[in-house]
Each structure stands twice: as structure tokens, then as C-alpha cells.
């Protein structure tokens, strides 16, 4: 079974600091995509960043970057220069070529302190 685990239910970071959110997944597939989604309070969920499993280079989107360790099945999200607007629930998700449904982790609630 494909599962996604986010071991940190809550995280806190000081404004302008860096924070890393953890995600591990379990799969027997060799090709797949990994995603980080952000769900702000009472707002719509949006895609933050995605990573192709066959690409060794870690994806980067402005202040957001990932540390993808395929052998360890780990996909962490690093947020640099944290801003108040980064406060949200962050979900790690996984999707394979064979089974197109998105599997989500339980989420990590990020608080940004001014």
C-alpha cells in the first residue's frame, strides 16, 4: 500500500527564519511524483512545489525547496525566510503513473511567529 507519513503534526518558526517539514512515503513504484500543498486557514489548498522521482535535482520554487532522498523515501520541504503568510497546513502528497489518485499525508500545521 502507498502511504505518506508526516511525523510533525505542528511546527513553529520565527519570521525570517528557516523551517523544514518532514515527509516520508512508502511505495514499490519506481516512477512517481511528489507534491507539497499548502492549505491556509479558511482558504483554498494550493500547490507549493512538486518533484519528479526520476530527477535527482531537488526542486526549488523561490523560498521553497525540497530535499528528495529517493532511497530513503524522504521528501522534506524547506521554507527559507519564513513570512507570516506561510502559516498554514502543509500536506505532502504522492501520485504514481499507474494509480492516478493523490495520496496525502496527515499534514503539518505551521505557525509563523512575528
Partner 1 sequence: KAGVTQTPRYLIKTRGQQVTLSCSPISGHRSVSWYQQTPGQGLQFLFEYFSETQRNKGNFPGRFSGRQFSNSRSEMNVSTLELGDSALYLCASSLGTGWVQETQYFGPGTRLLVL
**What does the binding site for partner 1 look like in residue numbers (CB under 8 A)?**
32-33, 37, 43-47, 50, 52, 91, 95-97, 99-107
CB of 44 or CB of 71, closer to partner 1:
44
To partner 1, the closest distance from the beta carbon of 14 in angstroms equals 27
CB of 13 or CB of 32, closer to partner 1:
32
CB of 33 or CB of 64, closer to partner 1:
33
DSSP the chain: --EEE---SEEEEETTS-EEE--EEE-S-SSEEEEEEEE-TTS--EEEEEEETT--SPPEETTEEEEEETTTTEEEEEE-S--GGG-EEEEEEEEESSS-S-EE---EEEEEE-
Amino acid at each position: 500500500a502507498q502511504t505518506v507519513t508526516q511525523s510533525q503534526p505542528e511546527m513553529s518558526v520565527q519570521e525570517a527564519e528557516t523551517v523544514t517539514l518532514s515527509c516520508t512515503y512508502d511505495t514499490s513504484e519506481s516512477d512517481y511524483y511528489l507534491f507539497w500543498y499548502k492549505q491556509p486557514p479558511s482558504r483554498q489548498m494550493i500547490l507549493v512545489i512538486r518533484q519528479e522521482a526520476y530527477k535527482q535535482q531537488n526542486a526549488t520554487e523561490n523560498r521553497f525547496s525540497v530535499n528528495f532522498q529517493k532511497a530513503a523515501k524522504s521528501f522534506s520541504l524547506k521554507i527559507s525566510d519564513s513570512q507570516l503568510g506561510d502559516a498554514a497546513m502543509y500536506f505532502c502528497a504522492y501520485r504514481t503513473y499507474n494509480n492516478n489518485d493523490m495520496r496525502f499525508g496527515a499534514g503539518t500545521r505551521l505557525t509563523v511567529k512575528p
